[in-house]
Amino acid sequence: MDRLSGLMAFVRTADLGSFVAAGRVLGLSPSAVGKAVTKLESQLGIRLLQRSTRSLRLTEEGQAFHERCRGILDDLDDAQETLLQTRGTPRGRVRVSAPIVAYHLLLPVLAEFLQLYPEIELDLDFNDRIVDLIDEGVDVAIRSGQMPDSRIMMRALRPFQLLLCASPAYLERQGTPTCPRDLLSHVGIGFRFPNSGKVQEWPLVLPANEPESRIRHILTCNNMEALRGAVLRGLGIGCMPDFLAAASLKTGELVPLLVDHLDLPGQFNLIWPSSRHLSPKVRVFVDFVSARLFSSECRLPPVPQSPEP
């Protein structure tokens, strides 16, 4: 069993490039991972990793050994999951990655899931960084946009609409835009994508021959919750998903703007690595979340009517 632990530590370290990242996936400290790899090297009598103060890299022998070990561990996982399927009760840890704002969708349905499957432990990572499911050992993720990786399976969840919103206090102070061109006299709160560093473009459909109306951003951040907070405080107009704005729209703390000029809805997808055998614990999670969070339509909130004079 010690040798198996060493193999797992070595493979994850080689996959992720550091003892720290491998320890995060395996639930071990970096020093424990390093010791396991060193012990494996001692047992084999071969140096597998070249270590420096800044990086790790595989030796020539380590590269060949890594390829064989990956295949062995994959076969072992398949054998274990096949055995678990015969036991009938899904159990074990399911690692889930999702954008930070997705907890508004996911958390309300998880209590029911945990009641149905009490022997499953959910490990939730709410992070706007796009993770590599295979290299980082993630079982399931919620993501939007295209999924070009052929190693990934996908199931559509609910569509969502990006909304332009502002607080009543801001609109009272600055006026309400009635067309995209009016945004030139307003200020905005921008969202910066953590992976690319690009600032989110607002989903406006402009009339033919009308030049793009770029709003001046007075604040930009890489967290959608922080953006929502800034908009609620009247700092400017912000763009956010409908489900993030829903509660504040209902109470009147936020007002939707230019709804008739918005682009088509976006799409959330549930994704997981393709494999020969989908484990029972992952299968029931995928089926449950797909059933609870699937919707074929995106309902926009009504535009508040102006009060009678």
Tens-place pLDDT, residues 4-35: 788 888 888 888 888 888 888 888 888 888 88
Q: Report pLDDT for 305.
A: 44
Output the CA torsion sign for 180, 184, 188, 191.
positive
Domain containing 214: what range?
162-261
Q: Are residues 182 and 225 in the same domain?
A: yes
The last residue of one of the domains, among 38, 58, 86, is: 86
Residue 40: helix, strand or coil by DSSP?
A: helix
Q: Report pLDDT for 1.
A: 46
Q: Are residues 154 and 273 in the same domain?
A: yes
Q: Are residues 38 and 57 in the same domain?
A: yes
Q: Are residues 185 and 254 in the same domain?
A: yes
Any idea what DSSP says for residue 179?
S
Measured between its terminal Cα atoms, the distance across the chain in Å is: 79
Q: Report pLDDT for 298.
A: 45
Q: Are residues 145 and 270 in the same domain?
A: yes
* Tens digit of each residue's pLDDT (9 = 90 or more) over 164-191: 999 999 999 999 999 898 999 999 999 9
Residues 216-235 have a mean pLDDT of 94
Q: Report pLDDT for 2.
A: 67
Kindly state whether residue 307 falls inside one of the protein's structural domains: no
* CATH code for the domain in which residue 197 is found: 3.40.190.10
- 208 class by beta-carbon count within 10 Å (0-12 exposed, 13-18 middle, 19+ buried): exposed
Give the DSSP per-residue string, 199-229: BPPP-BPPPTTPPP-PPEEEEEES-HHHHHH
CB 157 within 8 A of CB 290: yes
Q: Are residues 244 and 173 in the same domain?
A: yes
What is the pLDDT of the chain when averaged over all its residues?
A: 83
Residues 285-291 have a mean pLDDT of 89
* Tens digit of each residue's pLDDT (9 = 90 or more) over 66-76: 888 877 777 77
